């Protein structure tokens, strides 16, 4: 099939709802996109690990594109978000890490261990998630976009001010009023459970995020050191929330994974990217870059890229 034919076929891929249940019993809603038979034998499976407050439907076009190229794709809504949200977030209790260690872990367990490689595509929090998952060894490669440390000091001055106003003024007022972070009122995404807001705000106080946390740092540094999965971390130069310096600060936690950095210039044909543009239709060349990298990994006994190696994507 030509590239145009593959793109056209991908737009017709319909996802199939898939109910999941996390280890603690929480019900989740995922969507499975079957690999198109016209693309040839299935290349593997891709689990999409989304960003904070971003529902799985945001990643639909990427999932369709990957399915048209021979990958089975699974997206999901974390607990408290999208189709996995309870009737009310007021009084809903959870740990921010539950999205990885329970929800994404359940999605990994739902993928058959039948010899096909399992890959992950992350967005922001999705790049944090691999090191938090108990079954990370099942993942043969992670390609993550916009993953960073979250500290305001890595951001440009104006964005730094906006973020500090959110943490110190808007967030406390809204959570006191609603009992959760009604992020939708700020036009910044889906509403967030109170526990997610409080932990996120606390971790973002530190230059290396939770790796600097006075209570969690030792545990999480050791946990992330167990990861050996090859990783590519791609960040746009115009991403105000996760510029390359922020990425480098966080990704240092994957010190034994052999991660590789990719800096993306916001130029044609992709154009401006910011923190959310990685999964908009214009970013198709970025999606294809991830698929090409997955295809380059040997199905077994893969070699690990050099730690912190960097190249630019124009």
Predicted confidence at residue 312, as pLDDT, reads 53
Closest of 235, 243, 230 to residue 303, by C-alpha: 230
Closest of 129, 119, 118, 150 to residue 287, by C-alpha: 119
Angstrom distance (rounded) from CA 8 to CA 36: 12
Place of tokens 């936690």: 253
Is a pLDDT exceeding 90 seen at residue 283? yes
Closest of 288, 306, 207, 200 to residue 248, by C-alpha: 207
Q: What is the 3-state secondary structure (H, E, C) of 20-69?
A: EECCCCCEEEEEEECCCHHHCCCCEEEEEECCCCCCHHHHHHHHHHHHHC
Is a pLDDT exceeding 60 seen at residue 6? no
The pLDDT tens digits of the residues spanning 189-237 come to 899 999 999 999 999 999 999 999 999 999 999 999 999 999 999 999 9
Angstrom distance (rounded) from CA 189 to CA 205: 21
Q: Work out the number of other CB atoms within 10 angstroms of the CB of residue 308.
A: 15
What the chain holds in terms of domains, given with CATH numbers, is 3-156+219-313 (3.40.50.1820)
Strands 309-313 vs 231-236: parallel, antiparallel or unpaired: unpaired
For the chain, list the strands marked E by DSSP: 16-21, 27-33, 44-49, 71-77, 118-123, 139-145, 231-236, 259-264, 309-313
Is a pLDDT exceeding 50 seen at residue 255? yes
Predicted confidence at residue 269, as pLDDT, reads 92
Predicted confidence at residue 14, as pLDDT, reads 82
The pLDDT tens digits of the residues spanning 70-122 come to 999 999 999 999 999 999 999 999 999 999 999 999 999 999 989 999 999 99
């Amino acid at each position: 099939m030509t590239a145009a034919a593959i793109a056209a076929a991908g737009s017709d891929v319909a996802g199939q709802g898939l109910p999941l249940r996390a280890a603690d019993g929480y019900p989740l809603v995922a969507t499975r996109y079957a690999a198109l038979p016209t693309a040839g034998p299935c290349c593997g499976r891709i689990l999409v690990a989304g960003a904070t407050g971003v529902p799985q439907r945001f990643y639909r076009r990427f999932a369709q594109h990957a399915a048209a190229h021979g990958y089975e794709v699974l997206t999901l809504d974390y607990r408290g978000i999208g189709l996995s949200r309870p009737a009310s977030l007021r009084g809903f209790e959870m740990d921010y890490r539950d999205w990885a260690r329970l929800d994404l872990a359940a999605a990994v367990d739902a993928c058959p261990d039948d010899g096909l490689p399992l890959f992950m595509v992350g967005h922001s929090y999705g790049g944090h998630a691999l090191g938090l998952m108990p079954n990370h060894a099942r993942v043969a490669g992670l390609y993550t976009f916009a993953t960073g440390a979250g500290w305001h000091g890595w951001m440009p001055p104006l964005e730094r001010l906006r973020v500090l106003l959110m943490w110190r003024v808007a967030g406390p007022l809204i959570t006191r009023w609603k009992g959760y972070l009604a992020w939708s009122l700020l036009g910044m995404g889906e509403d967030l459970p109170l526990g997610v807001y409080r932990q996120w705000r606390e971790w973002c106080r530190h230059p290396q995020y939770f790796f600097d946390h006075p209570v969690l740092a030792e545990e999480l540094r050791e946990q992330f050191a167990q990861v050996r999965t090859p990783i590519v971390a791609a960040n746009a130069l115009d991403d105000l929330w996760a510029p390359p310096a922020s990425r480098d600060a966080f990704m240092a936690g994957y010190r034994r994974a052999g991660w590789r950095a990719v800096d993306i210039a916001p130029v044609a044909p992709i154009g401006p990217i910011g923190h959310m543009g990685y999964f908009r239709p214009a970013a198709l060349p970025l999606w294809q870059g991830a698929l090409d990298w997955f295809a380059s990994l040997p199905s077994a006994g893969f070699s690990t890229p050099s730690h912190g190696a960097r190249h630019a994507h124009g």
